[in-house]
Structure 1
Amino acid sequence: MKEEKKYKILVLSDLKKSTQSVLKSTLSFAKIINADIHFFYIKKPTEIIKNDNQLSAKRAINKESFMIDKKIKNLLTSFSDDNNTSIKYSFSVGNVKNEIDNYLNKNNPDIVVLGKRKSKSFNILGDNITDFVLQNYKGSVIIASEENILEPHKKLSLGFLNDTKEDTNISLALDLKAKSKEPVKYFRVVKNSEIEKETHQNLEGKKIEYVFEENDTIAKNISNYLSKSNVNLLCLTKSKKANDTAFLKKIINDTNVSLLLTT
């Protein structure tokens, strides 16, 4: 019998209010795809060190490290006990982007999870960390919605946007499709179309597709249909093209579901 792949999920957190909802969605996702979770937090030295005295700075870092460790341990123990799942963690003091880059290169996770706030989706950990991860990390990224949490013990309602290939990151896509509610929904944006919205089913009756004409309100229109069709995870492809990046930012800002960005 073929052994099921064990994915590695990295949660990047700022330990703010949205952390609990992000963890809940991550735990749900991890159970669906069979994944281990590692929680990672970075503290800027400028938030700890108040003067130039080296000894004083070292003491301040040691004291803060003790407090951070205690805070994370208490948080994760609660989630681990409630869900019977072990969550490993680590933290560091340093430049946020450098520490993230070092961790990614050393540990090579399959999926990175970031939280999504209502008005600061591209500034989640400060210094445009979401943007940094999307541009520099080659693997899949989940941007977890604070409002629409992936609930444990419930199947996904999965959607695919535009040219997202179902064979993109093939094993992950197959795992998701197998455990998603049927039918999977497909959302497509077209240019210069006379059809503003179109819904149809394929011959097997298992595929539902929503077609939208590209315009200034396209992201909000898609968001409305995500809500109407009860999709709670939307899959789309990462791209470094300027037009695609602008469209992605609109999708992140205007939708209230979790997003899975694949390569």
Structure 2
Amino acid sequence: MKANQKKYRISVLLDMSKSSALVLESAVELAKRMDGSIEVFHVKPTTNIIKGDSQLSAIRTLNQDDRSTRAKIKDFISSIGKKENLSISYKLEYGNVKNRVRDYLALQKPDILVLGKRRPIMGSFFESITDFVIDNVSDTNVLILGDDHKFHSFEDINLGIFGTGFKETDLEVIQDLKRNSEKPVRHFGISDDSESTDHAYPWQKTINYTFSKGANALDGLVNYVSRTNTQLLCVPKKSSKNFLFGASRLKEVVRKANVPLMILGK
């Protein structure tokens, strides 16, 4: 690692809605905890901007919108960055949101992508983008926050893990989230009575919560995660021996969980 180079490159996907401040502030806390740099990425759909305009008029409209949007983003990130004494860069692109997000992730390959997850509302922007990211990201860990999820600090956080398919790089991320915290990590799993829940992890102490396989096992598990005051649940994207994480099952976890999720898949 070069001098002054941060360990983690963190990208924050923002729609500039009212919840964006909570998402960016949480990303800032994450960067402080894990020695990370931050870049905000915002995509502005062009359909509504140029609809019904002539080509020349459309260009003028786009230029005006570009200046206005950039000023808004700069003011937004500057207010948060100055408060935390942290430099925050940004990228603004126009076009199809999913295509621009896919291209950005493929080109930039951030270590961690932070985005918000709104509660189910028909037509919600990030509801579809969350599913899209899960389907398409391959080289990036993803932190998903709900509208009401804000980390005041990652210091001494209550961490949970779900499943057993963690790679060495996944465990390193969890270790960096823990740092020197002596709090145990809670392991949540779904298995039958014949499967072992005794796994070796690099941290000092793990508390196991195992749920028997069944139609309502996942519902019971995610409810218990909240009851144990787990503040962040880490889930491997890859399939594990004891629990199959396909894209659809992972989306089910995302939809049902009432705590922020870190999907580890780098």
Instruction: Calculate the TM-score normalised by the size of structure 2.
Output: 0.84
In structure 1, the residue matched to 2:62 is 61
Amino acid at match of 1:209: N
Structure-2 separation of matches of 1:21 and 1:142: 13
Give percent identity, aligned residues only: 35
Deviation at 1:132, TM superposition (A): 2.0
Deviation at 1:42, TM superposition (A): 0.5
Amino acid at match of 1:91: L
Structure-1 separation of matches of 2:245 and 2:34: 31
Q: Does 1:136 align with 2:136?
A: yes
Alignment of structure 1 residues 1-263 onto 2, 5 Å: 6-120=7-121, 124-125=125-126, 128-138=128-138, 139-152=140-153, 154-165=155-166, 167-180=168-181, 182-191=183-192, 193=193, 206-239=205-238, 244-263=246-265
Paired residues, number: 255
Amino acid at match of 1:53: S
Deviation at 1:238, TM superposition (A): 1.1
Amino acid at match of 1:33: M
Amino acid at match of 1:93: Y
Deviation at 1:206, TM superposition (A): 2.4
Q: How big is each residue's C-alpha offset from its partner over 1:31-82, in whole Å with a ceiling of 9 and x where there is no partner?
A: 1111001001101111211224111100111111112112111211111122
Q: How big is each residue's C-alpha offset from its partner over 1:142-163, in whole Å with a ceiling of 9 and x where there is no partner?
A: 1123223221363321111011
* Structure 1 pair 133–47 and aligned structure 2 pair: CA distance change class (3 A): same
Amino acid at match of 2:134: L
- Greater shift, 26-35 or 225-234, is seen at 225-234
Deviation at 1:120, TM superposition (A): 4.8
SS at match of 1:172: helix
* Structure 1 pair 152–84 and aligned structure 2 pair: CA distance change class (3 A): farther
SS at match of 1:48: helix
Instruction: Calculate the TM-score normalised by the size of structure 1.
Output: 0.85
SS at match of 1:221: helix
Deviation at 1:181, TM superposition (A): 5.4
Deviation at 1:211, TM superposition (A): 0.6
Say if 1:122 and 1:131, in contact at 8 Å, map to a contact too. no
SS at match of 2:100: helix
Unaligned 5+ segments in structure 2 are: none
Amino acid at match of 1:165: F
* Structure 1 pair 48–252 and aligned structure 2 pair: CA distance change class (3 A): same
SS at match of 1:15: coil
Structure-2 separation of matches of 1:22 and 1:9: 12
Structure-2 separation of matches of 1:18 and 1:166: 32
